[in-house]
Amino acid sequence: MDGIIPLYKERGMTSNDCVFKVRRILHMKKVGHSGTLDPNVDGVLPICIGQATKVVDQLVHSGKVYTGEITLGLSTTTEDLDGEVVEEQRLAEPISTEKIKETLASFLGDSIQIPPMFSAVKVNGRRLYDYARAGDPVERPQRKITITQFDLQGEPEFDAKTGRQTFRFIAGCSKGTYIRTLAVDFGRKLGLPAVMSDLTRLKSGGIQIGSCVTLAQLAEAADNGQLADILIPLDHVFEENVKIALDDDQWAKILNGVFLTFPEQTEEILALTYEGHIKALYQVANAKQHLYRPYKMYLQNQGTH
């Protein structure tokens, strides 16, 4: 069985916990997730099984959408509420709604982000959180990110007793973006400590949270022989690619990794289908000759049934 499970990851478990539980439910070893969610974050976590594990990279590189909350007035070691408070600063008065919207908009477009110390990013073979826990110094790598949306949701709330202000947001971003760090950088632009105080992933790999299932629902579907109703075909990942239906002769050549010519095509990547399913991605090798070479192969892809 091949396909993508649109899983809703509940809070309190890691992404790897989800993979382990899916393996037990489906009695399969070929299972992988596409994009880590922290234990205190819930939302969309696409789980790939069978042949679909070959498209994890494509899913990881897709854009993501989140909704969450930023609290102004304190910062922590982990940039979320799981860490120890390292700075507090009471707000004498709330930041205006207009100023919040203006600051959010300033993040739109391309920028460079430094991932948080408490993250799974590897430096010299070690996770950053290992350096952080050991107290070892390390230079964190810079990452280019793209923010496509960063909007205020609802009205900000100000607590005069604590001197803290919270507001909810919706953010669209590229692969590798840490929303926790966006929250901290937001506060920095206002000269205030800040923390991400809530986060839910609404969309990943083209999958919306409304179409997701819980682990309990997945187990029930497996028991009732209804997994095919849940699984999203591997082909979903390539909905925006130009597709070429192969004839029998071309399919035989694909099986042997032969270069192919598609005279009328100019796309960088073509999705090649046979008997209704994507079997390979071919990449341009010689644009003038319209010659394409093997790029990614999914020869065993038979859909979700």
Residue 38 bears catalytic tag:
yes
- 38, 42, 185, 235: the catalytic one is 38
Q: How far apart are CA 50 and CA 54, in angstroms?
A: 8
Q: How far apart are CA 227 and CA 219, in angstroms?
A: 9
- The whole-angstrom distance between residue 59's C-alpha and the CA centroid of its chain comes to 7
Distances (CA, A) of 257 to 46, 250, 267, 293, 296: 30, 10, 19, 8, 10
Say if residue 91 is exposed, middle or buried (CB neighbours under 10 Å; 0-12, 13-18, 19+): middle
Q: Are 92 and 73 in contact (CB under 8 A)?
A: no
- Which amino acid type is present at position 54? K
Q: How far apart are CA 272 and CA 278, in angstroms?
A: 6
The encoded tokens of residue 51 equal: 């042949």
Catalytic residues: 38
